[in-house]
Structure 1
Amino acid sequence: MKSNKRQPLVLALLMSAATPVVAAPAPVTDVTGTSGSSLERIERLLEARNQVQLDMQRQLQQLSGEVDQLRGMVEQNSYQLKQVVDRQRDLYRELDQLSQQAPAAAAKTETPAGNYSSNLSENESYDHAVALVLEKKDFDGAIQAFNQFLKDYPKSSYSSNAHYWLGQIYFAKGQGQSAVAHFQSVVNDAQSSKRADSLLKLGLIYRSSDKGKAKQYLQQVVSQYPESATAKQAKEALAKLK
């Protein structure tokens, strides 16, 4: 009896097992749409990166050109500065040679002073005074020009040079005492490139009037500028004082 009651239940289970199971539909994704959007975004990023690289390359090229231009300007300025320094050295050397010919130089000062214009810039005024010495050999005109320069430009970077020129001119004319104040002005300027030469000149000027003071100046040259050519001249002058 019991087996008969279970048969319908078993049959029902077997039938339900035989029925095919229908799975829930899988979600559908628009693969084409999503992939296209990602590719476009990547392409835009790549384009932006390429544009940044191009901009950086252009900037580097521009900077490189500017650096080359600045380098050229520095080289040109260095060359021009060297020419100025060499010219200045030659001018001083020539005037030193003139100072060794004081009698002849004194005779040349009888020439009339050249016309001097006060309406000149600082550089023009200085160059004009130097030209009067070296080109025209007009010592009196140069004295006037340098004194006017010092009056017009008392704080000029050329002031020590102007005093040195005046000292040299008076020294070349055989007027040592008139040269003293100008050489002393140069000596008082610790930065002047002509300080050693001015000390030497003061020592040479005082040889005939005050040997003690002459020795003091000459020894300053030797002690403060021991490796210079000026020190060698000072040593020779000191040897003659003994």
Structure 2
Amino acid sequence: MKRFIIVPIIGLTFISCVKKEEVNALEKQILDIKRELAQIRQEQFKVKQDIQNLANRLDELSNIVSKNSIDIEKLKTSYKPPPNPPLEGEELVKTPKSPEEVYNQALDFYYQGRFGEAEDMFKKFLENFSDSPLYDNAMFWVGQIYYSKGEYNKAIEEFSKLISLCEKGKLKDCNKEPIAMLKLAYSYIKLNKNDKAKKVLKKLVNKYPNSEEALVAKRKLKEL
């Protein structure tokens, strides 16, 4: 009789051991899942930091592009030494400034943060030197002055005007069109008009795929 009692007891003990092993296995799985979740949260946090760093970098690149444009244009416009002083007895005749002199003076004002004087000088350039190859450059800087002052609607108007004239072939040179398109998109973003900004950025990438501005535009599109 005792022999028959022992068998069930052994069976129960075996089942108990099996259940304990299953519980241990489940606990291990739960711990593994918790570790994976913790790792995922950590990776998500790192991704968020990377996105923020990328956004900051985009703003830096935009500023670098604008600053480099100033330096490049100063090199492009030829330097002319001042004329020799008049000989004794000669009358000093004041000659009008050349397009390059007016343009460079306006750039200097902008670079010094003297936006009002820069705007006046660039507009003077546009009124008097419509045949200059720097005409589109001056148009861009008028828009950039408004952008720098936070007058984004006026900036949009100026950048759009430049882009439109380039598309119609009415300007001798349109080297400023890519940066004008980029800053037009940035102006829309400042006004929370992201749909319009995306449209301009995509157009920029398609029209000038190998430009520095297109590189910035691609990164900005991923952010929006």
Q: TM-score, normalised to structure 1's length?
A: 0.48
**2:219 alignment partner AA:** E
8 Å contact 1:167–1:182 — kept in the other structure? yes
8 Å contact 1:204–1:237 — kept in the other structure? no
2:199 corresponds to which residue?
Answer: 216
1:233 aligns with 2:211: no
Q: What do the CA deviations read for 1:182-228 (whole angstroms, capped 9, x no partner)? A: 21233232541121111111111112343222111000111112222
Match of 1:164 among 140, 143, 151: 140
1:202 corresponds to which residue?
Answer: 184
1:121 aligns with 2:121: no
Residue identity (%): 30
Distance in 1, matches of 2:134 and 2:95, equals 17
Any residues of structure 2 matched to 1:66-81 within 5 Å, and which?
A: none
Q: What do the CA deviations read for 1:163-184 (whole angstroms, capped 9, x no partner)? A: 1111112112221111122212
**Count of residue correspondences:** 132
Residues 144/209 of structure 1: CA separation in 2 closer, same or farther (3 Å cut): same
Match of 1:132 among 109, 123, 134: 109
Shift of 1:118: 11
Distance in 1, matches of 2:123 and 2:186, equals 24
1:141 corresponds to which residue?
Answer: 117
8 Å contact 2:201–2:221 — kept in the other structure? yes
8 Å contact 2:147–2:155 — kept in the other structure? yes
Distance in 2, matches of 1:231 and 1:204, equals 13
Match of 1:92 among 70, 75, 80: 70
2:151 corresponds to which residue?
Answer: 175
Residues 206/89 of structure 1: CA separation in 2 closer, same or farther (3 Å cut): closer
Shift of 1:236: 1.8
1:184 aligns with 2:124: no
Larger Rg: 1
Distance in 2, matches of 1:146 and 1:202, equals 19
Shift of 1:91: 4.6
Distance in 2, matches of 1:232 and 1:169, equals 23
8 Å contact 2:70–2:107 — kept in the other structure? no
Distance in 1, matches of 2:97 and 2:134, equals 15
Distance in 2, matches of 1:138 and 1:155, equals 26
Residues 118/143 of structure 1: CA separation in 2 closer, same or farther (3 Å cut): farther
Residues 118/219 of structure 1: CA separation in 2 closer, same or farther (3 Å cut): farther
**2:211 alignment partner AA:** S
8 Å contact 1:166–1:182 — kept in the other structure? yes
Q: Which runs of 5+ in 2 are unaligned?
A: 1-65, 73-93, 168-172
Structure number with higher relative contact order (C-alpha < 8 Å, ≥ 6 residues apart): 2
Distance in 1, matches of 2:222 and 2:69, equals 29
Residues 118/215 of structure 1: CA separation in 2 closer, same or farther (3 Å cut): farther
8 Å contact 1:160–1:192 — kept in the other structure? yes
Residues 155/184 of structure 1: CA separation in 2 closer, same or farther (3 Å cut): farther
8 Å contact 1:160–1:185 — kept in the other structure? no
Residues 202/93 of structure 1: CA separation in 2 closer, same or farther (3 Å cut): farther
Q: TM-score, normalised to structure 2's length?
A: 0.52
8 Å contact 2:184–2:200 — kept in the other structure? yes
